[in-house]
Structure 1
Amino acid sequence: MTRHLSSLAFMENFSTKLELALKNLSMAQFPPDARRTMRKFTSTEVAALLGVTEAYIRQVAAKEQGPEPEIANGRRLYSLEQVLELRMALAANGRKKWMNPRRTGNEQCQIVAVTNFKGGSSKTSTTIHLGHYLALRGYRVLAVDLDPQASLTALHGSLPEFDYRGGDTLYSAIRFDDPIPTKSIIHKTHIAGFDVICAGLELTEFETSVALEMRRSGGTGFLLRVSQALEQVVDDYDFILMDSAPSLNFLTLSSLTAATGVIIPVPAHMLDVDSTAKFLELAASYMQILDEVGTSAHWDFAKFLITKFEPNDHPQANMSALMRQVFRREFALELCHQIYRRSRCADVEAESL
């Protein structure tokens, strides 16, 4: 029997059609010169972000001790840049030294890998929400998109001068031949203090290049590529968050080697928990190999994070109870509130909701 449908023709035809349709839609809704902007914050919201009372914010504004807010309909409105300026001014000039959360002295930048090879486990959502949360509270955050599908990149809108087809991804900094400086591929976003390293299809080339390098040299030097790239910018940030692809490939292994901490998002469903068990089993086999060759990874912490949780769903509640029993102190639910305070993650015990 002769099959009439050419796989090559099908893939090329519909990839071209879909790309053109999405491009037209993007051009209609988001012109090339469009840039996402951050909304302004009321004095009530500023007080909540800084951990003070609204009366204190009004007092600061009345004494002109901080940036001058915009007045609209009788309300004071602050940009995020002004909130950050106010945070630093109050920390430097007053008794509120705690208001500046950025690391000092010997505190190290936390490099956190958000990983699980089960697709749809909310790795990207976790990375984005955690990164935004930390940036709003004054930390310097770099999000690294390690997924060729580039969802984290796309969710931050049109970034100035970014073109993944032009080699503007992490692969440019970790390739074996003529890597470029990591700082040259970092992009500012519309959120002050939140930068990104974008992703694109060229990240898949790392898998091929590693295979060729291992055939040539026979070593495990590829495991240090991500670590070496991030080391160039580690002094500029308090947190570096890595959004991994849904696979345990060479790039994911390299990111786990670079990490100081790991978050494993797990939806409270049987199939997702079963997949996570297989992920841990496979990862353990790889880590054993790394131990044997002397390139083992050591972390400050590793936490499991339940995602997509509906407490009124009986099967999900049962699965959540199972994970609480198994993971215990490695279980993290209210992640943003209970982990990450001045980079001392290892000393924090996660509590339940």
Structure 2
Amino acid sequence: MTRHLNSLDFMQACSNKLDHALRNLSLAQYPPDAIRTMRTFASSEVASLLDVTEAYIRQLSLKGRGPDPEVSNNGRRLYTVEQILELRMLLADNGRKKWINPRRIEGESCQVIAVTNFKGGSSKTSTTIHLAHYLALRGYRVLAIDLDPQASLTALHGALADFDPREGDTFYSAIRFDDPVPTRSLIHKTHIEGLDVICAGLELTEFETAVALEMRKSGGTEFLLRAAQAIEQVEQDYDVILMDSAPSLNFLTLSSLTAATGVLIPVPAHMLDVDSTAKFLELAGSYMQILSNMGTTAEWDFAKFLITKFEANDHPQANMMALMRQVFGTDLLLNTVIKSTAVADALTWKQSLYEVQRSRFSAPKTYDRAMESINGVNAEIEQLLTHAWGRE
């Protein structure tokens, strides 16, 4: 029997057509000569970020202290991210509030957080990008590392200057066994002050083959230290490093778990997702047992589960969340990320919710609910960081 569809021709033709269409769409959003910028923030938002009153922000502006905000036609004061950071440092110098400058001090180690789960669609990338933007806006120095060959986190930053995944510009270049490059050479500045990124591409899949060949030669577990060794080169420059893992428990994910000081596991409150997470934990546990037998362990400051895409009015989801709270107890974050069209719309525009103006949404209350949910989760994670540093 002769079949008429050649698999190679089909895959290559569809890949080329889809790649061409997506490139055109990306160019329409971010032309080569475009400079992506972060939106400005109203004084009320600035006050919330700095944990002071809006009246105090207004007084500073009227007294000519701190940066000069843009004043809109209706008299609103609008601040850039850079100006917010300048205000933060001004308040820190005045000693108005402890930890107004949240950056780590001597004796506090960089927090390296792996966001992981081998179930696709669990909101790993959304969790990572919103946490990265939140922490940057709060004044932390943040590095986001994309460990997923699908490169969703990378795509959310639009067209980064001088980045080409086909030219060895991904994290794989820093962790490969032959002639690795300095990690610092792979870091890209983003349009958000305080946030840098290391991008991903399909070449990250080569790490799996490279590890298999290396293990055949030496039989050791040195590959587990590759991510940690690469991160160690730059961790003095950051307060928090976030790793967005691929939806699989592969060698690269294991290496990231060994490098991590904390772990976040996003899980939608659906039976199939929770069941998949159970298998993920079982498999990860078996790997960790093997590593322990070989004398290698991964020790963390914290490991937490996070319920994502939650719909409170959905009774099966509510029941599943109750089950998870019963099983995981304090290992499950108290706050949840609600399912929201606002988040979906923002990601479609290759932006986080923090980047989009509230006025852009046809239903602003939907934006408010989503933002309240995400802020609640991120604030709880921030408390985990400060607790790990031993702060009051």
- TM-score, structure 2 normalization: 0.86
1:337 Cα offset (Å): 2.0
> Which secondary structure state, in structure 2, belongs to the residue aligned with residue 113 of structure 1?
strand
Is 1:301–1:345's contact at 8 Å kept on the other side of the alignment? no
1:65 Cα offset (Å): 1.9
What residue is the counterpart of 2:218 in the other structure?
217
What residue is the counterpart of 2:51 in the other structure?
51
1:46 and 1:102 map into 2 onto residues whose CA distance is 18
Deviation per CA, 1:284-334: give whole Å up to 9, x if none: 000000001111111111100000000100100010000000000101143
1:28-47 alignment, distance < 5 Å: 28-47=28-47
> Which secondary structure state, in structure 1, belongs to the residue aligned with residue 185 of structure 2?
helix
Pick aligned residue for 2:385 from 336, 343, 346: 343
| Segment drifting more, 65-74 vs 168-177 | 65-74
RMSD in angstroms over aligned alpha carbons? 1.4
Deviation per CA, 1:152-180: give whole Å up to 9, x if none: 11011111111111111100111111111
Give the letter for the 2:15 counterpart.
S
Residue ranges of structure 2 left out of the alignment (5+ in a row): 336-376
1:29 and 1:219 map into 2 onto residues whose CA distance is 47
1:347 Cα offset (Å): 8.6
> Which secondary structure state, in structure 1, belongs to the residue aligned with residue 305 of structure 2?
strand
> Which secondary structure state, in structure 2, belongs to the residue aligned with residue 19 of structure 1?
helix
2:386 and 2:90 map into 1 onto residues whose CA distance is 24
Paired residue total? 348
2:157 and 2:289 map into 1 onto residues whose CA distance is 37
Give the letter for the 1:16 counterpart.
N
1:282 and 1:182 map into 2 onto residues whose CA distance is 30
> Which secondary structure state, in structure 1, belongs to the residue aligned with residue 109 of structure 2?
coil
> Which secondary structure state, in structure 2, belongs to the residue aligned with residue 112 of structure 1?
strand
Is 1:144–1:242's contact at 8 Å kept on the other side of the alignment? yes
1:14 has 2:56 as partner = no
Give the letter for the 2:154 counterpart.
T
What residue is the counterpart of 2:310 in the other structure?
309
1:158-173 alignment, distance < 5 Å: 158-173=159-174
Residue ranges of structure 1 left out of the alignment (5+ in a row): 349-353
What residue is the counterpart of 2:328 in the other structure?
327
1:146 Cα offset (Å): 0.3
| Segment drifting more, 198-207 vs 57-66 | 57-66
Is 1:145–1:153's contact at 8 Å kept on the other side of the alignment? yes
1:96 Cα offset (Å): 2.4
1:184 and 1:224 map into 2 onto residues whose CA distance is 20
| Segment drifting more, 323-332 vs 1-10 | 1-10
1:19 and 1:107 map into 2 onto residues whose CA distance is 44
Deviation per CA, 1:184-236: give whole Å up to 9, x if none: 11111111111111000000010111111111111110000000000011111
1:345 Cα offset (Å): 4.2
1:285 has 2:286 as partner = yes
- TM-score, structure 1 normalization: 0.95
| Segment drifting more, 336-345 vs 75-84 | 336-345
Is 1:90–1:97's contact at 8 Å kept on the other side of the alignment? no
1:35 and 1:247 map into 2 onto residues whose CA distance is 35
Relative distance call for 1:338 and 1:144 in structure 2 (3 A) is same
Is 2:30–2:36's contact at 8 Å kept on the other side of the alignment? no
1:346 Cα offset (Å): 4.4
Identity %: 75
Give the letter for the 2:50 counterpart.
L
Give the letter for the 1:297 counterpart.
A
Is 2:147–2:200's contact at 8 Å kept on the other side of the alignment? yes
What residue is the counterpart of 1:72 in the other structure?
72
| Segment drifting more, 98-107 vs 17-26 | 17-26
Is 1:238–1:343's contact at 8 Å kept on the other side of the alignment? no
What residue is the counterpart of 1:185 in the other structure?
186
Give the letter for the 2:230 counterpart.
A
